[in-house]
Chains A and B, each alone.
Chain A
Amino acid sequence: MTIPSDISDVCENPAAILSQYRDSGVKVIGYTCSYVPEELIISGSLQPYRISNIGADVSALTPSFVCPFASTVLENILRLEDFFSGFVVAHTCDPMWRLYDILKKRISKPLFLLRVPHNTDNELSLDFFKAELTRFKEFLEKNFEANINETTLSNSVELCNENRNLLKRIYMLNSGGKYRINAFDRFQLVLASMWMPKQKCNEQMNALSFNNGETDGKLRLHVNGTAIYDLNLIKAMEESGGFVASDDLCTGSRYFWNNVERSQESISALASRYLIRTPCPSHGPLEKRLEYIDFMVREFKARGVITFAERFCDPILYDSVHIKSMLAKSGVPTVVIDYENSAQEIGRIKTRVEAFIESLGG
């Protein structure tokens, strides 16, 4: 299988597509995390674009002990502000929440904070989140002359569901010990879905064909973490004799695992999907997250779990204790690999991955 050049190019240089959007008069809304419903943005004839940590250094506006990922995302927003019509930040963890504060004082484009309740299993939170999504819809309508109604929303839900179905179908090709698409390519498809027009991305994924390959002796791994945009991390694992059979990353399966159910009006349906989805490490309940990891490890036959932790990432650092404890009970070894800048530390990371794989007899 060959990944189409549109997809590999955007993954190589995610900022380049922003010039194309600008040249063609497309209004782009930058967003920070997978709790933001792209459907609402698309239904207003706007292009969603996930802000990554690629291409920037940490911002001088945050202290050294604040998550370098959030700081780099901040720097990218400041650096690329001109390409965007507006931004939406989701309140997930402390650094992302405060990123909103900093942006409010530093950028001139319309900015929205989506307050995502952390107690996702409370029905009151669902009602609150519906109200938040309505406020978000009004923000888009007011600032970008977006005309969002039940029909446009229904269409965008269908488009995004199709995207998620495709990603999940491709993902499942590797279930049960199979190896039909390598992890590097698979991650590219997810990232491209966050940057390219969905329609185009779906068309290209529909045209893909897959091999019937075997694992060729690679050790199957599950990767746990927040968001990985630097796919060299994935490459490092594959070059070390590992194969990322599954993940619970915000730039991986958590992005597409759950669909929007069409049985209720669209805002309610979106609220249910985005709040009661597989939780992010910053949210809860922890049990639901642990169940998901346990399921992935079993379904994709992973023999070990690597937690990639950005240094100072509180949610991952707390969770790693409980993930390790849960997996130890089922005899699955785990390792936590922390880093501040994956590009600069790739050698050290690779050595640790190799040592882990070796310890598993891979």
Chain B
Amino acid sequence: MSLQKERSSVLQTTRKINELIMGHFSRAWDVKTQSKPIAWITVFTPVELLYALDVYPISPEHFGAMCSARGLVLDYLEQAEMGGYSENLCSYSRCGLGYTISGMNGLMPPPDILITFRNSCDVYVKWWQSLHAHLGTPLFLGEAPYVLTGADLGNYVLDYVVKQLEQLIKVIEEKFGLKFDMEKLVQTVKLSDKSSDLWLETLKLRRSKPCPLGGRDSASDIFPLVVMQGTDESVKFYEALFKEVKEKVDKKEGVIENERFRLLFDGIWLWHALDLIKYFEDKGAVFVYEPYSEAWAYRLDASKPLESIARKILAMGLNLDIDLRIESFLDSIKEFQVDAAVLFSNRSCKSWSAPQLVTADILSKEFNIPYLLFEADMADPRQYSEAQIKNRIDAFLEVLGEA
């Protein structure tokens, strides 16, 4: 194994993400000043619908990830724990609850409505109930049942979610005196679809060898698809990103010069330890596919806006039956020419981690894909043992190199 570090880089477009994020939060306070409604949402909630209704969405999950990445999370975690929330609970939720308990004097303006659709996890239900209990702010608790087969995206399950969206529209109209405009929704759906299309096309470019876009890019580049779907800014960002990545492919430029291993990353990123991605890259290993990055994009049909959005809420990765998830996993392994998988057993995300050992077993025994599984927390740096994990990465890559 080479001892020399590989040169690796982050895309120019990725470097602009910080400006977008800060712009998003600063606009939120402008909106608050204008007395327009702010919604605190869980991700995979219908952002397109909210923009069309002139309700400004903010995601405490995204806030938690950002606080963790910038070393600002501990105060909020401790505030929540002092307020009685166990350190065994989801760290995003502890961060959001800590922020709430401590007076909400930061990037997120206080909410006028709390909206969630249970899809990727059941923590959403308890977290949003807790926020509602602390703040007394109106709560809309939606349900997107687990998708057992493709048929659920067209039967009574879909119908149930569409009707809840109609209910949400009515709630917002009544609470804030706003008027729903279908034409406006069609426009936001078109913009959202365009962003998704561009992101998916960009991700496909990672099939190239060498891979032009690495984990450090994909970890950041998803942001506009989290809370800015349906905006012009989001489309512009993904147009620029696609263009830059395409140019790299044409010039055969990779994230690293000497690409030795192409890896799949399964899980949410460790926001407080994103340098781990570079640690892999320094050793010639590049992340070429992550279900997490792909999950944010979903093609929408502007001729059926509500139905399309309902499908998107239902079909987000973790809410798909395990067989559908494994099938998509295996297709991607072939398409992206993956050599091995890195599975992050995330203490905060039980919904993701609980069946991971079974998935790993299938990867290994039935499809001969080697994997590394390690345990830590996505946002709580206290649950992370850097030396131990790096040791395991070293050993894993060494074994891969010998294979």
Contact = CB atoms under 8 A, between A and B. Distances in A.
A94 B156 contact: no
Interface stretch (B83-91, B182-190, B198-206, B293-301): B83-91
B401 to A, nearest CB: 28
B323 A104 contact: yes
Nearest to A65: B347
B123 A314 contact: yes
A97 B122 contact: yes
A167 B87 CA distance: 38
Contacts of A241: none
A298 interface: no
A325 B350 CA distance: 27
B356 interface: yes
A210 interface: no
Interface string B138-160: 00011101101000000011001
Contact of B126 (A98, A102, A106, A319): A319
Contacts of B322: 101, 104-105
Contact of A63 (B125, B321, B353): B353
B72 interface: no
Contacts of A312: 88, 350
A1 interface: no
B129 A286 contact: yes
Contacts of B90: 314
Interface residues of A, number: 50
Given A101-B322, A131-B156, A322 B130 contact: yes
Interface string A272-301: 000000000011111000000000000000
B92 to A, nearest CB: 13
A168 interface: no
B335 interface: no
A286 B132 contact: yes
Contacts of B321: 101, 104
B18 interface: no
A119 B127 CA distance: 14
Interface residues on B, range: 35 or more
B375 interface: yes
B354 A94 contact: yes
A207 interface: no
B345 interface: yes
Contacts of A93: 122
A318 B122 contact: no
Contacts of B157: 128
Contact of B160 (A127, A315, A317): A127
B125 A115 contact: no
A101 B355 contact: yes
A122 interface: yes
B141 A61 contact: no
B278 interface: no
Q: Chain A CB within 10 Å — which of B125, B164, B345, B354 has the most?
A: B354
Nearest to B142: A119
B399 interface: no
Nearest to B140: A119
Given A93-B122, A101-B354, A128-B156, A285 B143 contact: no
Contacts of A319: 126
Q: Which of B121, B142, B143, B156 has the most CB of A within 10 A?
A: B143
A283 B237 CA distance: 39
B240 interface: no
Contacts of A125: 143, 160
A285 B128 CA distance: 11
Contact of A117 (B86, B127, B143, B358): B143
A102 B354 contact: yes
A322 B322 CA distance: 34
B88 A317 contact: yes
Interface string A108-132: 0000010101110010110110010
Interface of A: 60-67, 91-95, 97-99, 101-102, 104-106, 113, 115, 117-119, 122, 124-125, 127-128, 131, 282-286, 311-312, 314-315, 317-322, 324-325, 338
17 contacts: A62-B357, A63-B357, A65-B350, A66-B354, A67-B350, A93-B122, A101-B354, A102-B358, A105-B322, A124-B160, A124-B167, A125-B143, A127-B160, A128-B143, A283-B125, A286-B132, A318-B85
Interface of B: 83-86, 88-90, 118, 121-123, 125-127, 129-130, 132-133, 141-143, 145-146, 148, 156-157, 160, 163-164, 167, 321-323, 345, 347, 350-351, 353-358, 362, 375
